[in-house]
Amino acid sequence: MGDLDPLAVVGDRCFTGLRDVTSDLSALDGSGLWVVVVRFEGEVTCARFDRGGPAPRTWPSWSGPPTAAWTSSLDREAFGKGVVAIREAIAAGDVYEVNLCRLLSAPVGADIDILGLAGVLRTENPAPHAAVVRVPGVELASASPELFLRRDGALVESRPIKGTAASGAMFSDKDRAENVMIVDLVRNDLGRVCETGSVTVPALCAVEEHPGLAHLVSTVEGELA
């Protein structure tokens, strides 16, 4: 991030004035505006900011690697083999759901501003929970349509997505069954850390329209114990 000021943009909010950075999740019990990044491997970064305001209306241009410079961790053949292996595992009853991912990578200079990439993502895919985090040790740009977890005092909220179709009229019983399954998992997870009886589902399988597609979105809330 070089000499660029730390910041975080989440949805339509921008947070500045970095106060501290910690990996201690218990710090979230303190006051302040917190943005939390959890890596796939489990490493946690909690960044607290002093100020919150509207997200930028304009973004710097992206001066990082062009599209052709990015390489994939899985070519077409390897991805196809992964799909076959997953289907076999499902048929055997070993798993019921798998997310097959690939990693796109390219060399990025230390002086490149991650805000430029965030601007490209917001233009090409204006996701409601798009985010960018630029703090010491973390530079992240996301284009997520899904609210993973939000905390306001003792209230925690998750809005899992399961079910995607070309329009809200095209969802199947399978889509709704999968959404309910995920809601049950989130309820169970929140139930482990929330007051007994406080976990509720204010919205179940609500249709959320996006450009060119629609999602089934549910809302799960609870009060932390």
Residues 131 and 186 occupy one common structural domain: no
pLDDT tens figures, 55-99: 988 999 999 998 899 999 999 999 999 999 999 999 999 998 888
- The boundaries of the domain holding residue 192 are 148-223
Q: Is residue 2 part of a domain?
A: no
Q: Categorize the per-residue pLDDT at 109 as very low, low, confident or very high, splitting at 50, 70 and 90.
A: confident
Residues 140 and 158 occupy one common structural domain: no
- Percentage of the chain exceeding pLDDT 90: 75
Domain termination site, one of 51, 80, 105: 105
Q: What is the pLDDT of residue 175?
A: 93
Q: What is the pLDDT of residue 146?
A: 92
Residues 98 and 130 occupy one common structural domain: no
Residues 98 and 113 occupy one common structural domain: no
**CB neighbours of 207 closer than 8 A, spacing ≥ 6?**
168, 171, 214, 215, 216, 217
From residue 77, alpha-carbon distances to 26, 68, 101, 102, 195 in Å are 45, 20, 14, 13, 49
Catalytic residues: 146, 162
The count of domains in the chain is 3
The encoded tokens of residue 111 equal: 């002086």
Residue 187 sits at the vertex; the CA angle it makes with 160 and 173, to the nearest 5 degrees, is: 55
Residues 26 and 128 occupy one common structural domain: yes
Q: What is the pLDDT of residue 2?
A: 61
For residue 1, pLDDT over 70 is answered with no
The encoded tokens of residue 43 equal: 């490493």
- Put residue 128 in one of left, alpha, beta given phi > 0 → left and psi -120 to 50 → alpha: alpha
For residue 117, pLDDT over 60 is answered with yes
State how far the Cα of 224 lies from the Cα of 193, in Å rounded to an integer: 6
